[in-house]
Structure 1
């Protein structure tokens, strides 16, 4: 039986939502150990991440570790006028937050906090699942595919790196023409790379 993208989404989300809070916490700490070995970090000053929701790999320990390294962090904000697109806003302890239409916390939109995507060094993307060829399965909104399209076609702009639990890996995902495969995906136990 061939599973649809929706079947994969449901199955993998179920798996990661069954992880205990202790496992989640340790996975977040192990993520730092893997992430710290990335050569891309040597020159990175501006890194986009996301806040964890729906059983995703815990990102706050990594964000706080990046702050300790003097690296600026940014979070995605749903673009208010350009449908299906993201803006990235500077994020620190004092950033005012609001809930977006998906009930996910994001920085309150302030012009001064926006950093143009091309000025980011890395974009850490959330994902529901990933396969052995670097394809990611997102939530279906296409926000990250649109954001990463220029990088995929020209190699210009911030490099995308996926973050995921090990249990989110499957051998092969069904793909669509607009899917942007990732050059690297970091899990708590290893770095998958195709670049």
Structure 2
């Protein structure tokens, strides 16, 4: 798919169109996208990192399942985002291993049970990967609108330097420009099924 030409003024319409495009992918296309995504990450120096926060794909999101398996095969640590039980629209990160008990959250997505699984502060992770609805050449991102990642990292905006924040998306989710807000958390990069984009103040590198 080619980069779509959406007007960057209406987040609602962008979300609607991008989600529709993701859902139109066949199971085979999603499987291939997951494999290609892993190949792109493999080519990047981040592959040497030991502690990864990943996610279970939902709603047509590109799946990090292939990369998750590679991380597990290397005996590195994997963490999943969990909806904070008290603070609205914030996340915890809980370890995923063979003994992790999973449960469905309010969105129907499986996550580790915080009653039986240890959690780790975000600053202790090396790479935090999360799904995007869209991204642009300047490194701006558009999520589902819940603000989970923005609120999670906002208190540590000036101190959270260790984890690399990497968005994951199908390559067709890249737009020329997106509306941005002052509270949006900046990305270090975006990995897609076709490329790994690193961001500087000047845009894509």
Q: Which bracket does the TM-score occupy, shorter chain normalised?
A: over 0.9
Q: In the alignment, is the contact (CA less than 8 A) between 1:121 and 1:158 conserved in 2? A: yes
Q: Secondary structure at the match of 2:175?
A: coil
- The reply on whether 1:149 has 2:151 as its aligned counterpart is no
Partner of 1:71: 76
Q: In the alignment, is the contact (CA less than 8 A) between 1:151 and 1:157 conserved in 2? A: no
Partner of 2:182: 177
Distance 1:177 1:80, change over 3 A: same
Q: Secondary structure at the match of 1:194?
A: strand
Tell me the CA shift for residue 153 of structure 1.
2.7
- The aligned runs of 1:129-168 (5 Å cut-off) are 129-149=134-154, 152-168=157-173
Tell me the CA shift for residue 92 of structure 1.
2.2
Q: Secondary structure at the match of 2:28?
A: helix
Aligned partners of 1:121, 1:134: CA distance in 2, in Å?
Answer: 20
- The reply on whether 1:29 has 2:1 as its aligned counterpart is no
Q: In the alignment, is the contact (CA less than 8 A) between 2:38 and 2:64 conserved in 1? A: no
Q: In the alignment, is the contact (CA less than 8 A) between 2:8 and 2:179 conserved in 1? A: no
TM-score calculated relative to the size of structure 2? 0.88
Q: Secondary structure at the match of 2:114?
A: coil
Q: Secondary structure at the match of 2:158?
A: helix
- Quote the RMSD (CA, aligned, Å): 1.6
Number of positions where the alignment pairs a residue of Structure 1 with one of Structure 2: 194
Distance 1:35 1:151, change over 3 A: farther
Aligned partners of 2:175, 2:8: CA distance in 1, in Å?
Answer: 13
Distance 1:15 1:154, change over 3 A: same
- The reply on whether 1:16 has 2:18 as its aligned counterpart is no
Aligned partners of 1:150, 1:60: CA distance in 2, in Å?
Answer: 30
Distance 1:2 1:182, change over 3 A: closer
Partner of 2:4: none
Where does structure 1 differ by over 4 angstroms across 4 or more consecutive aligned residues? none
Partner of 1:191: 196
Tell me the CA shift for residue 93 of structure 1.
3.5
Aligned partners of 1:41, 1:62: CA distance in 2, in Å?
Answer: 10
Distance 1:151 1:158, change over 3 A: farther
Q: In the alignment, is the contact (CA less than 8 A) between 1:148 and 1:160 conserved in 2? A: no
Q: In the alignment, is the contact (CA less than 8 A) between 1:125 and 1:162 conserved in 2? A: yes
